[in-house]
Amino acid sequence: MLAPVARRVRRLQFIDRDMAAVRYRACVRGGTVVVAPKNISGEFEISATSDIACRVVVSGYYEPDVTTALEDLQLKEGTIVNVGANVGFYAAYLARRFVDCKKVLAIEPNPEAFRQLESNIRRNGLSGRVEPLQMCIGDSEGLVDFSLVEGMSEYSSIGHIAHPRVAGERQVTGRVKISSLGSIMGRERVALIFVDTEGAEQLVFRGAREILIRDKPILFFECSNTLLRNFHGSTRDLEGQLQALGYVVRNGLCRRLSLQHPYEGEALAVHRDDLSETKS
């Protein structure tokens, strides 16, 4: 008797949360909001019209399944690189969780998000731990077309934004600097590369090839077949690219599971030489 009741309560909570999100979006027209997710220490300014702001305000959390998955990673010495840092949730989390790492390099090309990233680094007293850098990351050097949706910086992308959530939104396109991780990091040792680039992950890892061979950092990344197609790739291609460099790729939220292509979710890649050092 208790189990069905519990299921009904959870369903009612889910409906209430859905309704709260609808009401939030109906009320918010612009500006910023400061949120404090329960699973990430600190306070973060973010555009009030973003989906991230809505989710954190309504649920109290920011992607708790991801922070849980990151919690027991065992990192080597070196720098953590956060590609697609947005306003700094994960940069702050990683800087505080992995205190033995040298620093967190938080890379974000979107001007709106970058301003908030810099502000949030200061707001949370992380200026000595998190270094912000404004540019795109790929496998080339120079300038590239970059698109964004004002007030929804989490969906910005090199080229055209492919995410279906913003299919009907006005995209603003400009030119921004692009570089490879290999050029940026030089000989600096890298412990973890955390990537969310709306489908450009293959370009990011291609430009980091020498780092992957030399340092064998752990990789945690968005792995969406839908978004990778925008860059003429696929989750199968991305997994094959990393396997060729000695990596074993798994479901980022459940490491016992391999990727089932076409895949939509988070992925974790650990070099086969280091598998015994990473908890399963």
The number of folded domains in the chain is 1
Query: Is residue 224 within 8 Å of 244, Cβ to Cβ?
Result: no
* 261 Ramachandran zone, left/alpha/beta (phi>0; psi -120 to 50): beta
Query: Is the pLDDT assigned to residue 11 strictly greater than 80?
Result: no
23 belongs to a structural domain: no
pLDDT at position 276 = 63
Query: Please, which pLDDT band fits residue 193 given cuts at 50, 70 and 90?
Result: very high
31 belongs to a structural domain: no
Strand partners, 264: 224
- Provide the percentage of residues in the chain whose pLDDT is more than 70: 93
pLDDT per residue as tens digits for the range 94-139: 999 999 999 999 999 999 999 999 999 999 999 999 999 999 999 9
55 belongs to a structural domain: no
Extract the tokens encoding 267. 């992925």
Extract the tokens encoding 133. 């850098």
Nearest to 94 by CA among 57, 66, 118, 114: 66
Sign of CA dihedral 83, 88, 90, 95: positive
8 belongs to a structural domain: no
45 belongs to a structural domain: no
pLDDT at position 221 = 98
Residue span of the structural domain in which 173 resides: 61-277
What mean pLDDT is reported for the chain? 93
11 belongs to a structural domain: no
pLDDT at position 9 = 39
How distant, in Å, are the alpha carbons of 87, 100, 142, 193, 264 from that of 91? 9, 15, 25, 11, 23
pLDDT per residue as tens digits for the range 48-80: 999 999 999 999 999 999 999 999 999 999 999
The domain that holds 84 is classified in CATH as 3.40.50.150
Alpha-carbon gap, residue 232 to 186, rounded angstroms: 28
pLDDT at position 275 = 86
E-strand stretches of 122-166: 130-133, 136-137, 142-148, 157-158
147 belongs to a structural domain: yes
250 belongs to a structural domain: yes
